Amino acid sequence: MDAFVDKKKFWLFEKINYSPKFGEPKPETPFISGKAIPYLGKNYKLDVVQDPIDGISFQGKFLISQQNLQDGKAILEQWYKQKAKEKIVPLVERYAKQLGLTYNNILISDLKYRWGSCTLKGNLNFNWRLIKAPQFVIAYVVVHELAHLIELNHSERFWNVVRIQMPNYLEAKEWLRVNGEVVF
């Protein structure tokens, strides 16, 4: 048992002294015309309109009705969650098929400190905020979590699986490192 603990002491030290990848959430800017809203790696302008709109609309820019402004943050979050599901689920299906893998469930949720996770039961969890990142970054996180169904750690074998599926994975990792806090 002591040999096991000794072997894992660096890992244990990292986990005990873990600091979140992202700082405290930044104060929200108000929902006003001209506000920049990130989606798939780009910022789009928000237009507040007088016409009634159910929820939020995206037409090369975001549109929200004046009457929905008070609930704008919640409405946008719901829209993001729906779009994240629409983008992530097909990617999981595609890459799982390529890798010959099966998974249990896909959950799009509010992960506080992660972009994604994979459970021992084969459940894949993804942060809805990923929808703010470019598509190649979303694909990288999907491949990363699927690779954990093959290799539960970040060993050389794990990174080989990721590298084969996503040759530009280092670019995606760097994008998350540089921009992660901004879109989180």
Is the alpha carbon torsion for 102, 108, 111, 114 positive or negative? positive
Per-residue pLDDT of the chain in tens (184 residues, 90 and over written 9): 666 555 554 444 444 444 455 555 555 667 889 999 999 999 999 999 999 999 999 999 999 999 998 899 999 999 999 999 999 999 999 999 999 999 999 999 998 889 999 999 999 999 999 999 999 999 999 999 999 999 999 999 999 999 999 999 999 999 999 998 877 7
What are 57-96's pLDDT values in tens digits? 999 999 999 999 889 999 999 999 999 999 999 999 999 9
Closest CA to 168 of 132, 133, 131, 143: 143
Q: How many CA atoms lie within 13 A of 95 on its CB side?
A: 27
Domains of the chain: 9-183 (3.30.2010.10)
